[in-house]
């Protein structure tokens, strides 16, 4: 049996050159700022059984100043969530072998109610969608990272308003 592997991406090392701020700083060299944790996630767990897609999504989050962790299965994602309390968001594919993304989302919602969830899929069976009572924001593949970030921001703002 193959051992589970995951990747942790340090957002300060995602791009070549000094694009990202040193720890403790909120200013980016291009004049922008790292997103405030009150309105957007700081650490996202990306879950996709396709390693290239997971790595690409992680790099896209990093490019927007977020820290990203990568898991290639729902089971691996739950193990990472159990050991990393700084994760405040999960971005997961829906169609995965074993536990699918909807099942993962419901489990995360139950075990880690403060963690925000956005799903992505290229295809979802209507039967699969109907079997889950909770609705989660979902973006179709291919997606723009700005769309995903906007969904997370709306979730975080909604939490701040309540």
CATH (domain of 66): 3.40.50.2300
**Contact call for residues 66 and 73 (beta carbons, < 8 A):** no
Total domains, the chain? 1
Confidence band of 31 (pLDDT split at 50, 70, 90): very low
pTM of the model: 0.73
Cβ atoms of 70 and 58 closer than 8 Å: yes
Q: Name the least confident of 40-44, 69-73, 78-82, 88-92.
A: 40-44
Asked whether residue 29 is domain-assigned, the answer is no
Domain-located, residue 11: no
88 within a domain of the structure (yes/no): yes
Q: Quick one: 154 exposed, middle or buried, by C-beta within 10 A (0-12, 13-18, 19+)?
A: middle
- Residue 98 covered by a domain: yes
Residue 28 lies inside a defined structural domain of this protein: no
Q: Is the pLDDT of residue 66 over 80?
A: yes
What are the pLDDT digits (tens) for 74-91? 999 999 999 999 999 999
Q: Which domain holds residue 59?
A: 36-161
In a domain, 64, yes or no: yes
On the question of pLDDT at 108 being above 90, the answer is: yes
């Amino acid at each position: 049996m193959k051992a589970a592997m995951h990747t942790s991406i340090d957002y300060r090392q995602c791009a070549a050159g000094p694009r990202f701020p040193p720890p403790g700083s909120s200013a980016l060299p291009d004049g922008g700022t790292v997103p405030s944790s009150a309105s957007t996630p700081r650490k996202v767990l990306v879950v996709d059984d396709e390693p290239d897609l997971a790595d690409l999504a992680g790099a896209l989050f990093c490019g927007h100043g977020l820290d990203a962790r990568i898991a290639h299965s729902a089971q691996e994602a739950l193990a990472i969530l159990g050991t990393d309390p700084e994760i405040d968001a999960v971005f997961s594919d829906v169609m995965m072998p074993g536990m699918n993304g909807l099942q993962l989302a419901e489990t995360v919602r139950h075990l880690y109610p403060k963690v925000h969830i956005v799903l992505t899929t290229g295809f979802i069976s209507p039967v699969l969608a109907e079997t889950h009572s909770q609705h989660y924001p979902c973006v179709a593949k291919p997606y723009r990272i700005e769309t995903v970030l906007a969904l997370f921001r709306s979730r975080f703002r909604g939490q701040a308003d309540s």
